[in-house]
Structure 1
Amino acid sequence: MQLNRIIALVLVAVCFISATFGIQRRQMDEALNLKKVLDRDRLELVSLDGVITGTRASASGAMAVRDRLRELIEEDSVKGVLLSINSPGGTVGASKELYAAVKDLSEKKPVVVSMLDQATSGGYYTASSATKIYANAGTLTGSIGVILSGFNAKELLSKVGIQAQTIKTGPYKDIFSSFRDLSEPERQLLQDLLQSTYQEFITDVAKGRKLDLEVVRKLADGRIYTGSQAKENKLVDAIGTLDEAVVDLRTLARKKFNLPETKELPIRKSPASFERLLDQLLNQAGVSIALPFFDVVGNGKISGAIADQLTSKLAGQNMQMGNYDPPVLLMPSWFN
């Protein structure tokens, strides 16, 4: 009886060890297969959706897209990038960051933009430095210009007995205050600021599209163009669908890297990193959340990399709550 128990225990141990090694072997094989897929020559689809801002609102938001484009510069297995844009534009700084990222990437490998419903203002700014731009016939694009807007509620507030009390260190510190009229010196200062930004905008578009600056200036009066009108004015290169843009990108990539026509070059949607997913979760959640993988130290504070991410995110939200300065926008006025 004792011998039978020993034999049974030995068999259980052998089965356990075999199963463990089998699982590890399978995991190793899956990891190697995944690595082969990731290292395979391919194209990558990156999507830019929504208003362009410096906040990290989602995996398809401006700064997450900017970061991914920068990463793709160094990924040798990616031979070309399709950037799908569906954006009305947004703030100046974030738009310039995207423009620069697309420009630097397109110097290393072909970048084809596919415009969907709209790619206006900052959205067009982003696209203008790509290797080639596709739009649908009904796509709204253009709106090349800069806008800064606010409102004057002085009369309304005075009727209900509200008066402002402002203490400031300089004459322009409360510029664009809703409690008073905009003075002429302030108006001129803001107009100069917008003109400087506008000049950078059209200069970058002219460089990206290889057009004469004065030609771009005539087109850049804030008007919006359909895809067909944009092609007539050389603001885009072709009218076509996203699928047609992929076919063209594959041809450009083969030519750039001297690849044979038989080279498949499949296209893969850009993966969202854990950090981007966490960003999206924290931006969309309007309530306090508790996650089981936070490290809680003895002093009651949250620690660790994930906790640092949460802390910075919440701190950023608190800072934004007190920010009332109107942003300078590369955006059609009807989106304000």
Structure 2
Amino acid sequence: MQLNRIIALVLVAVCFVATAFGIQRRQADEAFSLKSIEKGRDRLELISIDGAITGARTGLNSAIAVRNRLMEIEDVSGIKGVLLTINSPGGTVGASKEVYEAVKKLTEKKPVVVSMLDQATSGGYYIASAANKIYANAGTLTGSIGVILSGLNVKELFTRIGVEPQTIKTGPYKDIFSPFRPISDPEKELLQGLLTSTYEEFVADVAKGRKMDVAAVRKLADGRIYTGTQAKENGLVDAIGTYDDAVADLRKQVRAKFNLPESTDLPIERGSSSFERFLDQLFSGASTNLQLASPLNSLIDAVAPRLLKNSSTGLSSDDPPILLLPSWYTS
């Protein structure tokens, strides 16, 4: 009986692997055919960032998938420009920075235009600031340039119900931001220094992307949110317009950069999914269940290693992540 179960499991595994490789082969053939077509066909590509920005690999529109696609487009001669639509409140520092750098690098070769939808705040604006041009609707919420690190103190609650936490640690900062006790003054100083360092990099990158003076950006970067109209007035966006306006502007920039005649069609399309994105989507359901069970740990695991690389702060992957999110979104 046990042998039959083992055989059945092996057969299921073989079928799955065969299916996966079959899909990979088919997509490789499609990609080859598409590249052959792209050599003689100029077009634009539409890429979207929706929802919170994290380092998670699941989903076609995850930050990592977007970054990877932006890097791929650099070497695809048929894709002459990118329209990046953003509808996001922001997210973690590492993931936002990864996409910002990918956008910035791509703009050196091809035009990238951003179209903001309902919101593009904090990490969402961070990414947008790297583009050649930013469009927003009049009522779009944007800005919120700042950094936040928040947690809970449930010590009093636990005392009332008779729960006494016990912690064994190897250093004074190992349980920093513990929900079972108040934060000490040295811990506040350490965390504030960490936030200030991240904030200064945020401001400097926005100034670089927008070609603005750092002091001018800092005046706007007190965490407040702006409407699209206000952002246009203070220089955080370039124009008030719709998705179609952004597409028309991107076509104009592409024709000027590559000396293309007005008769060139330049259709805009979404890119085809790679095998890696297929697997990400396939397993996204299971990952979602795990994240629902422990959303904070999932977020920490995704971003903490990048944030704490070469860090001497004493923070670990058990600590809350630094977020580029509006305070109302995290409360």
TM-score, normalization: structure 1? 0.79
- Contact 1:73-1:105 at 8 Å conserved across structures: yes
What corresponds to 1:256 in structure 2? 257
Q: Does 1:138 pair with 2:136?
A: no
Describe the shift of the 1:142–1:287 C-alpha distance in structure 2 as closer, same or farther (beyond 3 A): closer
Q: Cα offset for 1:138?
A: 0.8
Output aligned runs, 1:138-157, within 5 Å.
138-157=139-158
Amino acid at match of 2:246: A
Describe the shift of the 1:220–1:34 C-alpha distance in structure 2 as closer, same or farther (beyond 3 A): closer
Query: d(CA) in 1 for partners of 2:51 and 2:170?
Result: 37
Q: Cα offset for 1:271?
A: 2.0
Q: Cα offset for 1:283?
A: 1.8
Q: Cα offset for 1:34?
A: 4.8
Q: Cα offset for 1:169?
A: 0.9
Q: Does 1:191 pair with 2:192?
A: yes
Corresponding residue SS for 1:44: strand
What corresponds to 1:68 in structure 2? 69
What corresponds to 2:281 in structure 1? 280
What corresponds to 1:38 in structure 2? 38
Query: d(CA) in 1 for partners of 2:151 and 2:215?
Result: 30
What corresponds to 1:271 in structure 2? 272
> Considering only CA atoms, is the larger Rg found in Structure 1 or Structure 2?
1
Amino acid at match of 2:160: K
Amino acid at match of 2:135: Y
- Contact 1:56-1:280 at 8 Å conserved across structures: no
Q: Cα offset for 1:277?
A: 2.3
In the TM superposition, what whole-angstrom CA distance separates every residue of 1:1-38 from its partner, at most 9, and x where no partner exists? xxxxxxxxxxxxxxxxxxxxxxxxxxxxx999755543
- Contact 1:121-1:142 at 8 Å conserved across structures: yes
Describe the shift of the 1:35–1:148 C-alpha distance in structure 2 as closer, same or farther (beyond 3 A): closer
Query: d(CA) in 1 for partners of 2:233 and 2:281?
Result: 39
Query: d(CA) in 1 for partners of 2:174 and 2:131?
Result: 39
Query: d(CA) in 2 for partners of 1:234 and 1:118?
Result: 17
Describe the shift of the 1:187–1:287 C-alpha distance in structure 2 as closer, same or farther (beyond 3 A): closer
Corresponding residue SS for 2:74: helix
Query: d(CA) in 1 for partners of 2:220 and 2:32?
Result: 52
**More moved, 53-62 vs 266-275:** 266-275
Query: d(CA) in 1 for partners of 2:272 and 2:115?
Result: 19
What corresponds to 1:96 in structure 2? 97
Describe the shift of the 1:31–1:90 C-alpha distance in structure 2 as closer, same or farther (beyond 3 A): closer
What corresponds to 1:333 in structure 2? 327
Corresponding residue SS for 1:115: strand
Corresponding residue SS for 2:283: helix
Output aligned runs, 1:51-66, within 5 Å.
51-66=52-67
Q: Cα offset for 1:268?
A: 0.9
- Contact 1:45-1:267 at 8 Å conserved across structures: yes
What corresponds to 2:213 in structure 1? 212
Query: d(CA) in 2 for partners of 1:46 and 1:143?
Result: 23
Amino acid at match of 2:178: S
RMSD: 2.4
Amino acid at match of 2:162: G
Corresponding residue SS for 1:85: strand
Query: d(CA) in 1 for partners of 2:185 and 2:118?
Result: 39
Amino acid at match of 2:83: L
Describe the shift of the 1:256–1:187 C-alpha distance in structure 2 as closer, same or farther (beyond 3 A): same
Query: d(CA) in 2 for partners of 1:35 and 1:210?
Result: 35
Q: Cα offset for 1:50?
A: 0.9
Corresponding residue SS for 2:44: strand
- Contact 1:114-1:133 at 8 Å conserved across structures: yes
Query: d(CA) in 2 for partners of 1:115 and 1:214?
Result: 25
Corresponding residue SS for 1:225: strand
Query: d(CA) in 2 for partners of 1:130 and 1:31?
Result: 27
Amino acid at match of 1:327: P
Query: d(CA) in 1 for partners of 2:31 and 2:186?
Result: 64
- Contact 2:38-2:79 at 8 Å conserved across structures: no
Sequence identity percentage: 67
Q: Cα offset for 1:262?
A: 1.4
Describe the shift of the 1:120–1:218 C-alpha distance in structure 2 as closer, same or farther (beyond 3 A): same
Query: d(CA) in 2 for partners of 1:52 and 1:107?
Result: 24
Describe the shift of the 1:35–1:54 C-alpha distance in structure 2 as closer, same or farther (beyond 3 A): closer
Query: d(CA) in 2 for partners of 1:58 and 1:35?
Result: 24
In the TM superposition, what whole-angstrom CA distance separates every residue of 1:107-152 from its partner, at most 9, and x where no partner exists? 1110000001110000000000100000011111000000000010
Q: Does 1:243 pair with 2:237?
A: no
Query: d(CA) in 1 for partners of 2:288 and 2:95?
Result: 27
